Structure 1
Amino acid sequence: MLKKALLIFILISCSLLSGCELALFDPKGPIGEQAKDLIILSVALLSIVIIPVLFMSVYFPYKYRKSNDKNEYKPKWEHSTKIEVIVWVVPCLIITALAVATYITSHTLDPRKPLGKSEDTLTIQVIALDWKWLFVYPEQQIATVNEIAIPVDKPVEFLITSDTVMNSFFIPRLGSQIYAMAGMENRLNLMASEEGIYRGMSANYSGFGFAGMKFKTHAVNQQGFEDWVNKVKTSPIVLDEARLGELTKKSKDHQVEYFADVDPLLFKKTIEKYTGVQNGK
């Protein structure tokens, strides 16, 4: 009976999970690969405790049930050196291993750590709005909404802020997420190692339009990136003050937009709007 129930549970779980997109376990960049390895290591170490506990939570009630009179009864038993050693030594070893892994990855996965030389790095400025993402390419003098393109195997530095409530910038297959906060600049360095279209999102609830706050990341070769930039530059729309005012209004499931020109100081002005620099404070 127990085996049958376990089999049914496994089949139901597999059917429910079959539609899930396990993006974190299918990374397409070096940061994502390191993050995946850290997750697997952490789960493996924790499983040393979790699996035995789950097993014993079923085995002990079954073994020591009232109707089982074949086991030895020891009402005065109170101590076992072996059990004491196991319940203290094993968790200490797990905590030590996790501490070492945390210390190492705190440096190797530092979001501000450059992935290449500054002259070889593409800079993208990210501004979180309600409920959309505004991307500014300062070197290319273009801007987009809810879509970016990056060259494969090229370091990308995202400068991230918010012109609204706090959000969280996240491209699961490239790794790492970092908060976007008004009046602050966060930095995130990523790189794509394979061509493809990767889903980006906000990982922090920010209101009723949060579910549609997604964007596409096109990882392409260098020629494909230049073609994409040229396509954006052919847009008849420029990101002037009037258009920016429209973008800052709340909107749900906002469509992709291209802007052929943008104020090169837009990102800086967005931050200073909340720090008071523009008002002489």
Structure 2
Amino acid sequence: MKKILMAAALVVGFCSGAASQAQVQAQAQTSTIPVVAAENFYADVVKQLGGDRVQVTSILNNPDEDPHLFEASPKTARALQHAALVVYNGADYDPWMDKLLAVSKGDKRTTIVVAQLVGRKSGDNPHLWYDPATMPVVAKAVSGFLVQADPAHKSDYDARLATFLASLKAIDNRVAVLNSHYKGVPVTATEPVFGYMADAIGFEMRNRRFQLAVMNDTEPSAADIAAFENDLRERRVHVLIYNSQATEALTKRMLKLAKDSRLPSVSVTETLPAGKTFQQWMISQLDALSGALQGWQR
């Protein structure tokens, strides 16, 4: 993954402002609970679970920028300083969060690291939100915090959690339909962004070494590039999945080759697009994938 730079000046004057649990509960009775989510799709989930009783700040929220190139700022540090809850991905996707939180003294805020919740670690595919099993676990952890911080509104939080979990069934249903039609179908991708979802669908994912090299900002080997190109040129795969937030020269080259070979390409992103919920985002991408594969026959 591309190295994320953080200016050393960020740590200057960054002191702990985290409240104790008792203070959080007192605050919740009179105002909103401040939450910081490193990625905007986690922020969206918190908003759905907390409603108007949470004030959520998301850090990575521009769908037009490559999130791997993000640089933390003093504004980021200030937001974290006042947060009662922090949610971030982990698994080396957002290492700047570890650095920022590490310089906070007397830290009593609650921190949810998604990778730890789902048993993922450094070196694993960090795009955890594309695993259908991830968000139910995240939602339950966030809701548990909200109930503990603001027990007076437990019934509302419980109802919101139930609504959210039920809404995820639409994603599961689409995955199940795709699995029933396209399990074992060979596909390829420029990066492993969609990897967990592709596994849930049951695709035969090709060119994994190429994808890992691109994700880790290293040059794929000549042999891996040739294998990728041959898969496209000879139509050994049925769709090309690409990260539209990281369209560098090699990605553009593969997209052109797919187009020349009359193979469909499907865009996925690492950041929630504006105006969409997490559920809408996932469903729109799954629907686009389904449309791209409609002409395929066993």
TM-score for both structures, normalised by structure 2: 0.21
TM-score for both structures, normalised by structure 1: 0.21
Larger fraction in helix: 2
Larger fraction in strand: 1
